[in-house]
Amino acid sequence: MGKLLVVGSVALDTVRTPFGEGTEVLGGSATYFATAASYFTGVDLIAVVGEDFPEAHLKFLKSRGIDLAGLERRPGQTFRWKGEYTHQLNEAHTLDTKLNVFETFRPKIPESYRSPDLLFLGNIDPELQLDVLQQVKRPKLVACDTMNFWINGKRDALWRTLAQVDVLVINDGEARALGDSPNLVQVAQKILAKGPKHLIIKRGEYGVLFFNHKQTFGAPAFPLEQVRDPTGAGDTFAGGFMGYLAATGNLSEEAIRQAIIFGSVMASFTVEAFSLDRLRALDYKEIEARFREFKRLTHFNDLP
Report pLDDT digits (tens) over 67-85: 999 999 999 999 999 999 9
Coil, strand or helix at 212: strand
Q: Which CATH number is correct for 4-298, 3.30.429.10, 1.20.140.10, 3.40.640.10, 3.40.1190.20?
A: 3.40.1190.20
**Average pLDDT of the chain to the nearest whole number:** 95
Backbone dihedral angles phi then psi of residue 225, each to the nearest 5 degrees: -75, -30
Report pLDDT digits (tens) over 233-285: 999 999 999 999 999 999 999 999 999 999 999 999 999 999 999 999 999 99
Residue 81 bridge partners (DSSP):
13, 97
Coil, strand or helix at 58: helix
Q: What percent of the residues of the chain are helix, what percent strand, and what percent coil, each to the nearest 5? A: 40, 25, 35
Q: Is the pLDDT of residue 88 over 90?
A: no
pLDDT given at position 205: 87
Residue among 230, 159, 149 nearest 190 (CA):
159
Residue 22 bridge partners (DSSP):
15
Q: Do 227 and 240 form a contact (C-beta atoms < 8 A)?
A: no
Report pLDDT digits (tens) over 50-61: 999 999 999 999
Coil, strand or helix at 36: helix
Strand 208-212 with 216-219, pairing: antiparallel
Distance of alpha carbon 52 from alpha carbon 57, whole angstroms: 11
Distance of alpha carbon 55 from alpha carbon 201, whole angstroms: 35
